[in-house]
C-alpha cells in the first residue's frame, strides 16, 4: 500500500461526522522531541486513525502509532533497535467545555480556536509516553550477557553459588 502523508491538523468533529479513517505516515523531522529522547528515529512514523461516534453518541478518534527507534541499553550502553507502539482513544472537546463522564480508556483532547487538533503533536506525545523507562536489551542480545531480573546487581562470579560447592565439601571430608 502506498504511504500517504497525513494531515498535520484535522477537525475531529467533521471527521467523525463523515466517519473518516486515515492511514499514513509522518516524517521523523516533524518530531524533534522524540528524536532528542532517542538515539535516532528510523524511517517514517506509521499512523492509523479512525473517527466516529460510539454507542453513547460521543465523538471519538481512535488510533495507533508505530515507529522504529534506537535507544541506549542501560546495561551495556550500546544501542538497541526497537519498535515503539501506542494505541489511543481521544474524545475531542472544546476549550472550557464541561467534559461528560468518560469511560476509563478515553482521553480528552481540546480542540483549538478553529476546532482542530494537532495530530503531529498528539502522535509525538503518545510515542514519547510509550518509550521504555529503562531501555535494555533482552538477555540474549545484551553484550553484558545473561542475568536475572536483578537489574543493576549483576553478581560477580565469586558471589554466584557454585553448583559444585557441595561436592567439594563432600570430597574434603
Ligand atoms: Zn545491552
**CA gap 91, 106 in Å, rounded:** 7
Cα R_g (the chain), whole angstroms: 24
**CA gap 39, 34 in Å, rounded:** 9
Query: Ligand 1 being an ion, which residues bring their Cβ within 5 A of it?
Result: 73, 75-76, 137, 142
- Ligand 1 centre to CA of 151 (Å) is 11
- Ligand 1 centre to CA of 2 (Å) is 35
| Per-residue model confidence as pLDDT tens for the chain (173 residues) | 567 889 999 999 999 999 999 999 999 999 999 999 999 999 999 999 999 998 888 899 999 999 999 999 999 999 999 999 999 999 998 877 776 677 777 888 999 999 999 999 999 999 999 999 999 999 888 988 765 555 555 555 555 555 555 555 555 55
pTM for the whole thing? 0.79
**CA gap 55, 140 in Å, rounded:** 46
Domain assignments of the chain as residue spans, ordered by start: 9-172
Buried b (16+ CB within 10 A) or exposed e, 127-150: bbebeeeebbbeeeebeeeeeeee
Amino acid at each position: 500500500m502506498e504511504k500517504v502523508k497525513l494531515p498535520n491538523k484535522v477537525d475531529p468533529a467533521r471527521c467523525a461526522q463523515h466517519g473518516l479513517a486515515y492511514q499514513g505516515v509522518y516524517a521523523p523531522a516533524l518530531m524533534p522531541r522524540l528524536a532528542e529522547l532517542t538515539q535516532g528515529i528510523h524511517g517514517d512514523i506509521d499512523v492509523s486513525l479512525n473517527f466516529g461516534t460510539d454507542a453513547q453518541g460521543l465523538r471519538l478518534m481512535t488510533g495507533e502509532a508505530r515507529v522504529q527507534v534506537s535507544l541506549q541499553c542501560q546495561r551495556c550502553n550500546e544501542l538497541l533497535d526497537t519498535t515503539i507502539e501506542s494505541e489511543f482513544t481521544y474524545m475531542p472537546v472544546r476549550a472550557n467545555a464541561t467534559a461528560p463522564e468518560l469511560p476509563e480508556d478515553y482521553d480528552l483532547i481540546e480542540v483549538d480556536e478553529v476546532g482542530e487538533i494537532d495530530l503531529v503533536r498528539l502522535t509525538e506525545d503518545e510515542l514519547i509516553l510509550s518509550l521504555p523507562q529503562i531501555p535494555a536489551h533482552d538477555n540474549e542480545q545484551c553484550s553484558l550477557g545473561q542475568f536475572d531480573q536483578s537489574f543493576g546487581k549483576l553478581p560477580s562470579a565469586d558471589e554466584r553459588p557454585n553448583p559444585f560447592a557441595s561436592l567439594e565439601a563432600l570430597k574434603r571430608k
